Structure 1
């Protein structure tokens, strides 16, 4: 999926031209995709390690310590997540 700005009128939807992605933004997009894949793996397999890795590597987090705190917060606030990641 690609999100782009569009013009919408009575004739339909037309995407606006997209310039080549800058290297820094491309890196951030890649890091985000990697984080999403780790969180998906955690959801499918129940792997707490994958969930922690997904949170830790998200570009807006980018910290193993903060990733751990976020995961613990989600587990505390949502018992079903804690159960899914504990194998119960």
Structure 2
């Protein structure tokens, strides 16, 4: 099984490879997705990492609150996305 983690308070200059490297220290990373603004293409300062269960728990314990690129990361298990109505 794998878990999807929310990673917040990222520096806008953070890259997917930097984030992947930080999380791979704790387990097998399946995917990294840093969210960008649709209109500007600029990073929005958060993203998602999918990784193995044991590694995810270890990453949360070790990376939540840790300095990464001059900012303290917020790392927790991602919540399911809520359906938004169009109107």
Same fold, TM-score > 0.5, yes or no? no
Bigger proportion of residues as strand: 2
- Larger radius of gyration, structure 1 or 2? 1
Bigger proportion of residues as helix: 1
TM-score norm. by structure 2 comes to 0.26
